[in-house]
A and B are shown apart, each in its own frame.
Chain A
C-alpha cells in the first residue's frame, strides 16, 4: 500500500457509558485511501462509517474511547497529535463536507463571509481579497450570480446550493490534500444529487484530490468511485476496486447489500 495518503490500521473502540461500561463499536478497522483516488466507505445505519470519518479529523464524540489502532496521514499517527497540531491539519490538509450543509453552515453569517473567513484563516491576506476568493469559489461550483449569493444567509440557499457552497469551502477555499464527504447527497433530490456528484468527481479528478466518500447509497458509488470499503456492524467486511465490488462481490454481506440495493433476490 505504498500509494496510500491515509492509512487506518487496526482501529477499535467503543462508547463509554456514564456507568463506565464500554460498548464496542469499531472492530479492527483497517483500510487505506490511495492518493488521488475516490474511495467509498459504504454501510448501513450504525455500521460505524461516520465514526471512522470523524476519527480521521479527531472530532469523534468525546464518549468514544479508542482501544487500539493508528490513523496514519503521510506516515504520521493523527491519534498521537495534540490539539494544536490537529487544528493545523484540519482544513489545510484534511477537510470535510457534512450531510446537511444548511445545518453545517453558521446561520448568522452570510455564506460569502464564512467562506472568506476560512480563506483568511488558511491563507491570510485582507478581507476584500478573501471575499473575492469566496465569490470565485462559489462561481466555480456553478452557483449562479455568486456576488449576490455571497451576501445571502444559509437559510436563503436551497439544500443543493448550500451543499455546493460547502464543497466550495472544503475543496476550493481550503485546498486540502484529503477531502472527506459524509453522505454529501443524502436528502437531496435525484437530479440535484446527480449534479452534486458530478461536481465532486470533477473537482477531485481535476485537482488530483484524494477523496473519501461516506455513503449508504451504492448507486452513487457505482458511477463515481475507484475503490470501495464495505462496513457492517463496525467491521470492514470487504475492500476492493469498485468494479470488483459490483461485478464479483465476495463477502456475503456485500452480496446482500448489493442485491438489496438493486431490489433483486439475493443469490445466496
Chain B
C-alpha cells in the first residue's frame, strides 16, 4: 500500500491517563497506521492492549494526548469539536455492544434518521427513501424501521448499528469488536454483510478484534498491538503464516482451532500482561519473552521494515527466524 493512497493516517498517536498519585497510565504509546481506500486493516490484541482506545482517539471520542490523525491528508486533531461534523461524514464507527450503543428510547427509524439530518441536507422525502435503502442494504426490512432495540435480536441490532454507520456514505468505518457479543452462527452472517457492503460501497475498514479467526477471514492487513504499541504489521497471510514478533507467535499459537487433530506448538510467555502504569523505556514484552536479550531491557525496539510490507518491533526475532 502506498502511503499517499491512505484514507486514514495515524502517526505517533499517544494517550495517557492520569491515575492516582501522579502516575501515568500509558494506554496508547506512539501508534502509527495507514488504512487505504477499500482495504481492511485489522487491529488485534488482547484486553488492555489499547486497541479500543486507538479507535476512540481516532474519532476523538476521547482526546489523544499526542500524535496526529489525518483523513485524506487533512489533520483532524486541531479541529474545534463543532467542526468535526465534516470529519464524521468521512469516518464512522460501529461499536461492540449494540445494546449499549443504541438508544433504547429511539426507534430504528429515529436512530438512522439522526445522521441523515445532522450531516446531509436532504428533503424529508429523500431521507425516507434513504432509510428504506439503508435497512434493505443491511438485510432488514421496512417493517423493522418502527421497532425499538429491545424488539430486535442481537444480530439485528448490530445490523442497525452498521446501517447507522454507513448512513452518511463514509469512506472508512471503524469496527470495534463488531461480532464479539454475537453467537457464532450470527457472527458469520454479520461478517458476510460487512464484506458485501465493503465491496458495494468501496469502504475501508479499521477492524478491531481479539478474535483471530475473524481477522484472518476479513482482513487484508493486520497490526498486532501489545500494551499500547504496535509490535507487528503485515499482510494477513504473512502475519498468520509466518508471524515474527514473539508476542504474535504466542498469541497465534494459543488460539484454539475448531478442527480435529490440529497439533499446536505453543510459544509461551511467562506471567501475565505487565502494568501499563509508568512503563519503563524497554521492550513491552521484556520479562515475559523467551527470546529476550539484555538489550531488550534498555531501549524500546523500533519498528523494523523487513520487506514485503512487513514491519516488526523486535530486532531479535527478525535476526533469528529465517523466512518461512
Binding site for B on A (CB under 8 A): 44-45, 144, 158, 160-161, 189-194, 197, 216-223, 242-243, 246-247, 256-258, 260-263
Contact (Cβ within 8 A) B184 A190: no
Q: How far is the CB of B260 from chain A (nearest CB, A)?
A: 4
Q: A261 touches which one: B184, B262, B266 (CB < 8 A)?
A: B184
Q: Give the distance in Å from the alpha carbon of A142 to the alpha carbon of B210 in the complex.
A: 25
Total inter-chain residue pairs, C-beta < 8 Å: 79
Residues of B within 8 A of A190 (CB): 46, 210, 212, 251, 254-256
CA distance A193 to B191 in the complex (A): 24
Give the distance in Å from the alpha carbon of A144 to the alpha carbon of B272 in the complex: 11
9 closest residue pairs by CB, A with B? A219-B256, A246-B260, A189-B46, A218-B258, A261-B258, A194-B254, A44-B183, A191-B254, A260-B184
Q: Is B11 an interface residue (CB 8 A)?
A: no
Q: What is the CA–CA distance of A160 and B272 in the complex, to the nearest angstrom?
A: 9
Q: Which residues of B contact A217 (CB under 8 A)?
A: 256, 258
Which residues on the A side are within 8 Å of B46 (C-beta)?
A: 189-191
Q: Beyond the given A190-B251, A191-B251, A257-B184, could you list 16 further A-B residue pairs with CB under 8 A, ordered by the A residue number?
A: A45-B183, A161-B272, A190-B212, A191-B46, A191-B250, A192-B272, A219-B255, A221-B258, A222-B260, A223-B256, A223-B257, A223-B264, A243-B261, A260-B184, A261-B258, A263-B213
Q: Which of B184-203 contact A (CB under 8 A)?
A: 184-185, 187-188, 191
Q: Would you mind naming 30 contact pairs between A and B with Cβ atoms under 8 Å apart?
A: A44-B185, A144-B271, A161-B272, A189-B46, A189-B47, A190-B212, A190-B254, A190-B256, A191-B46, A191-B250, A191-B251, A191-B254, A193-B256, A194-B256, A217-B256, A219-B257, A221-B258, A222-B258, A222-B259, A223-B256, A223-B262, A223-B264, A246-B259, A257-B184, A257-B185, A260-B185, A260-B188, A262-B258, A263-B188, A263-B213
Question: Which of B185, B217, B251 has the most CB atoms of chain A within a 10 A radius of its CB?
Answer: B185
Q: Which residues of A contact B258 (CB under 8 A)?
A: 217-219, 221-222, 246, 258, 261-262
Assuming the contacts A260-B187, A263-B188, asked whether A194 and B272 have C-beta atoms less than 8 A apart, the reply is no
B214 is an interface residue with CB less than 8 A from chain A: yes
State the CA gap A191–B248 with chains docked (Å). Answer: 11
**How many B residues touch A, CB cutoff 8 Å?**
29
Q: Does any Cβ of A come within 8 Å of B269's Cβ?
A: yes
Q: Which residues of B contact A257 (CB under 8 A)?
A: 184-185
Contact between chains at A242 and B260 (CB < 8 Å)? yes
* Secondary structure type dominating chain A contacts: helix
In this complex, what residue of A is CB-closest to B269? A191
- In the bound complex, residues from chain A placing their C-beta under 8 Å from that of B255 are 190, 194, 219
Complex alpha-carbon distance, A192 and B191, angstroms: 26
- Please judge, given known A-B contacts A45-B183, A263-B217, whether A189 and B210 are in contact too, CB under 8 Å: yes
Interface centre among B210, B214, B258 (most CB of A within 10 A): B258
CB-based contact A216/B254 at 8 Å = no
Are B272 and A158 in contact (CB-based, < 8 A)? yes
Residues in chain A near residue B185, CB distance under 8 A: 44, 256-257, 260
Measured CA separation A258–B185 after assembly (Å):
9
Inter-chain contacts of A243 with B (CB < 8 A) = 260-261
Residues of B within 8 A of A193 (CB): 254, 256
- Using CB atoms, name the residue of chain A closest to B260: A246
Q: How far is the CA of A108 from the CA of B309 in the complex (A)?
A: 52
| Complex Cα–Cα for A67 and B272 (A) | 47
| A residues near B184, Cβ cutoff 8 Å | 44, 216, 218, 257, 260-261
Residues of A within 8 A of B269 (CB): 191
Q: A191-B250, A191-B251 are in contact. Are A222 and B256 (CB under 8 A)?
A: yes
Chain A residues contacting B256 (CB-CB under 8 Å) are: 190, 193-194, 197, 217, 219-220, 222-223
Complexed CA–CA distance, A218 and B257 (Å): 8
Query: Which residues of chain B in 203-259 are interfacial with respect to chain A, using CB atoms and an 8 Å cutoff?
Result: 210, 212-214, 217, 250-251, 254-259
A261 CA / B262 CA spacing, docked (Å): 15
Contact: A194 with B266, CB < 8 Å? yes
Minimum distance in angstroms from A225 CB to a CB of chain B: 11
CA distance A61 to B214 in the complex (A): 35
Most chain-A Cβ atoms within 10 A of its Cβ — which of B255, B256, B260, B261? B256
Complex Cα gap A243–B261 (Å): 8
Across-interface contacts of A222 in B (CB, < 8 A): 256-260, 262
Encode contact with A along B170-189: 1 for CB under 8 Å, 0 otherwise: 00000000000001110110
By beta carbon, the residue of chain B nearest A262 is B258
Q: Which residue of B lies closest to A194 (CB)?
A: B254
Report the nearest B residue to A220, measured CB to CB. B256
Write the chain A residue with the least CB distance to B257.
A219
**Complex: A192 Cα to B213 Cα, angstroms:** 17
B191 touches A263 (CB 8 A): yes
